[in-house]
Homo-oligomer: A and B are copies of this chain.
Amino acid sequence: MKAKRSARLVDMTRYLMENPNTVVPLTFFANRYDSAKSSISEDLTILRKTFMETGTGVLETIPGAAGGSMFMPGIQKHEASLFIDEVQSALADNSRVLPGGYVYMNDLLNRPSILRQIGRIIATLYSDKKIDAVLTVATKGIPVAQSVATLLNVPFVIARHDSRITDGSTISVNYISGSQKRIEKMVLSKRSLPANSNVLIVDDFLRGGGSADGLCSLIKEFDSEVAGIAFVAERDYEGQRKISEDDYTSLFKIDTNDGDIKVDLGNFTYDNFSEVTKEEE
């Protein structure tokens, strides 16, 4: 379509948001809108500035023949911190405490708007890593993994405790559940993860770390590397976890002793988050 600047700005924003972490050549937009490359360059400058000022993410310019623009979604410190505070308040509710000190979080982790913000925060925490795939284990981790994978625009891969016919051939590992000291099994479809992938593990809740440890073993079996491990929340845990504190990030730390819930910030830091560079509402 032959498009004016105003229409181009709207459509380029839409296109880049739907295709994050992908290099889009200048010529793609020039052809799409039947416009001069110089006009497209000016459009991209407007997008870059607006994305930065509103904390939407970074629009990188990739130089060279294979170059173009790449949108990397993120979230700025100010917005992340407001969101974290809101969820912290929502979690700090004794009616969430279930038998055994478990915590009901379904109502938060089934809302697309909350999942998107969690995804933006986890994507920002790992924005300095190269990530080829997101891995989780069924069931509760899937929505969070999908949200992160959507922002990174990489496949997300779901391990299971039991294999299904529809997985085809699988690779399985055994691991010791951290909290219950049982031997458990975890399987992943052989076709689902190519060798030499950098894999971000994402899950909803960390207790003993057994599942995460199992997922790390699976990644090794696929000749791939663990790029990081991210949890929405971790529980206060007595004893030795299967994964080290240095190897994961969590957004919240939840203590449910005596049926009273106490929610603190997790072990993540705001180091990777940029500040808003202009005053905002």
Residues of A within 8 Å of B, CB-based: how many? Answer: 67
Partner of A7, one of B46, B115, B191, B205: B46
B13 with A167: CB separation less than 8 A:
no
Specify the main secondary structure of chain A where it touches its partner.
Answer: helix
Chain B residues contacting A167 (CB-CB under 8 Å) are 104, 106
Instruction: Say yes or no: B102 contacts A165, CB within 8 Å.
Output: yes
A153 within 8 A of B: yes
Verify A106–B46 contact, CB threshold 8 A.
Answer: no
A158 and B146 CA atoms in complex are apart in Å by 14
How far is B110's CA from A253's CA once the two chains are assembled, in angstroms?
A: 29
Within 8 Å of chain B (Cβ to Cβ): is A105?
Answer: yes
| A197 nearest CB across to chain B (Å) | 13
Docked pose: A167 CA to B107 CA in angstroms:
10
The answer to whether B19 and A165 touch across the interface, beta carbons within 8 angstroms, is no
Taken together, the copies of this chain in the complex come to 2
Candidate in A6, A47, A142, A278 with the most chain B CB atoms within 10 angstroms: A6
* Contact A157 to B110, CB < 8 A, known contacts A6-B5, A116-B18, A281-B32: yes
Interchain CA distance A132-B51 in the complex, whole Å: 31
Interface 1/0 per residue, A152-184 and B, CB below 8 Å: 011111101000111110000000000000000
C-alpha gap A155/B114 in the complex (Å)? 10
- Known contacts being A17-B14, A112-B149, is A107 close to B192, with CB within 8 Å? yes
B103 touches A166 (CB 8 A): yes
The reply to whether A168 and B98 contact each other, CB–CB distance below 8 Å, is yes
* Complex CA distance for A280 and B14, rounded to whole angstroms: 16
* Contact between chains at B54 and A14 (CB < 8 Å): yes
In the complex, 24 of the A-B residue pairs with CB atoms within 8 angstroms, ordered by the A residue number, are A7-B46, A7-B49, A10-B47, A11-B54, A13-B14, A14-B56, A18-B113, A18-B116, A32-B281, A98-B166, A99-B165, A102-B165, A104-B167, A105-B166, A106-B158, A106-B168, A107-B191, A107-B192, A112-B146, A112-B155, A115-B150, A139-B139, A139-B158, A166-B205
